[in-house]
Structure 1
Amino acid sequence: MPEAAVVSYDRANSQYVVLVRVRAPSPPNRSVSKVAASLMDPSCRAPIDLVTVLDVSGSMTAAKLQMLKHAMRLLISSLGPTDRLSIVAFSAGAKRLLPLIRMSRAGQRSARQIIERLIISGSSGEDGICIGHALRKATKVLEDRRQRNPVATIMLLSNGHQKEQPLQEDTSDPLTRVPPSVDSASATRFAHLEIPISPDGGGGSGDEIYPVENVFPKCVRGLVSLVLQDVHLQLTFPAGFVSSVYSYGGSIGGGEGCVGLPVLQGEGKAAISVRLGDFYAEEKRELLVELRMTHPHQQQPQDWMSYKCSYRDPITHELVLCQAATAAMPPLHSSLTPRTQELRNLFVTTRALVESRRLVDLNDLDTAARLLSTARSLLLQSNSTTSSRHHKFVASIDSRLAELQRRLRLQHHPLPRASRGEQLTPTSAWRAAEQLAKVAIMRKSMSRVGDLHGFENARF
């Protein structure tokens, strides 16, 4: 059931946020091994472009390295000729070991040979430095593709104890998903799978290693089980006007999981259509819908909101139109309970992070800083200042505000040219050579004039 909370109200208008939860269908209710087998069958899913980022730093133990190799062998054997795989490893540095090639028999043989040659190198304190570089290499592999499969995924297999996290993640789940951008035709999925072995080299309660067959299929199911593609959702409210919709990905820190969705107005003011992109099996998303109501408006107990979606099948590429359904409209009250207060703070934080990012893209840093400062003041005025989630909201605003203030200082007081270290290009090198030549000619002419000093009236 949707939830609602008041954001602001005055004599003429009221602003509410309605939380709508969207969930993709789940695979058939069978055993884990059968589900994983059906999902990994290339004939039962869309082709995938997969880039694996492997941790071979000193923080990995011999048992964890064997687990990583076992997982990669299962992955390579499950990919078909239409799938493509690339391997990037990192330790003291990051290196692409295998380009993005098709997993034919020859491609699988090359990938297996690379996996068997992996060894642990570097010290345990260097992995956090190079993990970001390795992920950038993986992203570059996908960006340089000439041909694109419907599914693109970056999978990080690591020890899970890096000092520097590449993305803001919810570490409570070993498989962390970052919502894809809805603007790209072939969205990229990121997943982080920790090697399931305790730091002392044992397998949790005992000395046995967790069987990879029970852990790895969970990651596989989230990576290749694309069930809905190019999803469009239509929402119709009984009254009001929808001004904006934000997708909240579950990780508010840094704002990576918050996306502003383009809204297309329907036949009425309260009817909208939003594009949600691709959905994987059992994927959940939360939509924050900003609903504006004009006074006087008397909500009826029988008020219902309707919804309808359309998507494209990833296997057959056919357009599927779903039938319309209804859900009870949540009550719109001006009073705040602890739950509605938390929902209001979530909306304020999400809107501030998304809109400030849009203003930064437009190079309007001053307005973005003022927007974040206003959102921070609203959060501090709320009554839920003792909750842990409220502290996360404030911390995310403070982090973005500190970064903006640093950029504003650099913009208003730029560093000297010498300290900025201008990048050497053929044009800049030619300009520097010309300046040096002019200085040398000037000094030479001045020295000649100085040699003739005192002989102005002499006759030769």
Structure 2
Amino acid sequence: MSSSENKTCAICLASLGTGQGQAIFTAECSHSFHFACIGNSVTHGNYLCPVCRARWKDLPFVMPNSNPNANNSSIDHESFLDSRNLFFPAPQRQPPMRRRPVFEPEPLQFSDDEPLPAVTANVSPSGLQNVSIRAVPERPAVAASESIPHFAVLVGLRAPSLSDDARQMQRAPIDLVTVLDVSGSMHGSKLSLLKRAVNFVVDNLGPLDRLSVVSFSTHARRIFPLRRMTEHGRDDAKRAVNSLFASGSTNIVEGLKKGVQVLEERHHHNPVGSIIFLSDGRDTCHRGSQLPTFSNQRQPPQYLHLLPASICPGNRETQDQGRQEIFPVHAFGFGSDHDPLAMHAISDSSGGTFSFIESYEMVQDAFASCIGGLLSIVTQELRLMVRSASQGVEIKSIPSGRYASEVSDQGSQGTINVGDLYADEEKEFLINISVPILTNAEGEESERKTSLLDITCAYRDVVSKEMVQIEGDLVEIRRPESPSPPDLVVNLEVDRQRNRLNAAESIAEAQRMAETGNLSGAQSLLSNRRSTLLASASGQAGDGLCMWLEAEMKETEQRMGSRHRYEREGRAYALSNMSAHGYQRATTRGSRAAAAAFGGSFSFGSGGSSAAASASFNAYVTPHMANMVNKSQQLNKTEDATPSKPQQLNKTEDANPRQE
């Protein structure tokens, strides 16, 4: 009798009965074995059936796991369903169809990350410059007898560039976790495009960067441990990604928990830890994820309180405030059925960005834009400090978007916590102050001045690992008896920033109105604010940023044209805009990649039509982000032009709708 007929494994001689916590593999010759037993046998090069010695065309496939001593009690038994389909083709044979892989049990703790290479002492690559600071007052002069309660000073920061010859050594290596939705609705072309996009990420990570892959549907699994992207690491990562299949419902909470667990429990640490999170649906496994009625103002779902404090700091215990590392979640809403409110709330609270991928084909370009930034981080822990430089000059407010800011010491000091900067990235902030009357107006009129602000910034240099402090120039204005007409003209850069802040607030206010069902009011608000923007000084000058802002507001307005359109695309489009403006960082919105065809960051004062601005302009794109998107687009053109055999889908996979 065969082992299958005896119901015993021919390798370990133990029972093959079901319900005992072990997967069973049935070969094409009809003999059955414990999957762990036959998997270990095949790993050692045994490709013949241990019972009848038949040569198998299809072999059991086990995903690589860097912890061979994984605890069997952590097996996710749902992964072993339909065990007869769980094998991959033998070497040098073409597979008849795509098969589902079986994964090794997960370890109880994810401290099995690959060690980082030893750092060579006293190696300091040259070429990385300091962060630059510039400051521009609203007007160059104010009458000596005049007191202004609200006067703006624009403070700009620019990160250093990366040199081509030492790029890998001048930027911070990253630990990146991709958390990917593989629920039933991801089957077919969506999953294929997602795999292609993640493989692009794999190809562009350096040997000092590490990647882990987490997939989730009804349950979440870490299918690839945190490993360096060396040549072998890339090959294994791609094999893991290509093994993904779609089935089950959507458990966003467990997916993110698993992704955070990878970063929190790692034994070694790269300077940057981040999460890329993609989903095409709503969490169907937790209460509170149902869509509320449109007439009620929508709030993010209640399940967000279940997420770890390292991505939702609001869930942190009081005694742990300020102690826990925060991991930015860069969230990507895929298609029209995802939950933009939840994904925006998660990315926003963690310091990441939220992108809306309306067209499935855009997913690779969207990932490319994101990693173009993450792979160019040159400064960390950046903190901008401003201090009153004269008696009577008081800091009133700092509209810093989503960056934490504070005004202290009765308006004499202000701080903005910016964090990481990408290479060539710019951040601009308006510091609103009061300017007092010049009480001592003696001396030559041309020499009368009021010092407004002292500006410094401190940050950690990713090359030297040392804290660096930079002092900006003292900000001063002239105090004549009677200012000349040019002295009364508001600086266009300050006007431009006011327009940016007003546009961001207009989109946020319109989104809040739309959530209450007042779509006509939201559209009217955006239309009026667009007219105001175009009538401003920088708008009249044809400023490129103003043209881009007007185009984005118009697009948002159009996507609020009906309840159906708002729910399918307008909400996600508005929230992605809010994410970009809140952090002054590029996001993908709608069907366009963040960098579009612009090929680099914008130039102040560039003109152009509204349509051109919409198609080829994004104020927050850095050169590295644009270059990575261009690389993705060129790769897509090359691959699309290469003839390939049509891919056969596993019928079981293709027939799996979302289980909700």
TM-score by length of 1: 0.49
Work out which structure has the larger RCO, using CA pairs closer than 8 Å and 6 or more positions apart in sequence.
Answer: 1
Instruction: Write 1 or 2 for the structure with the bigger share of strand.
Output: 1
TM-score by length of 2: 0.36
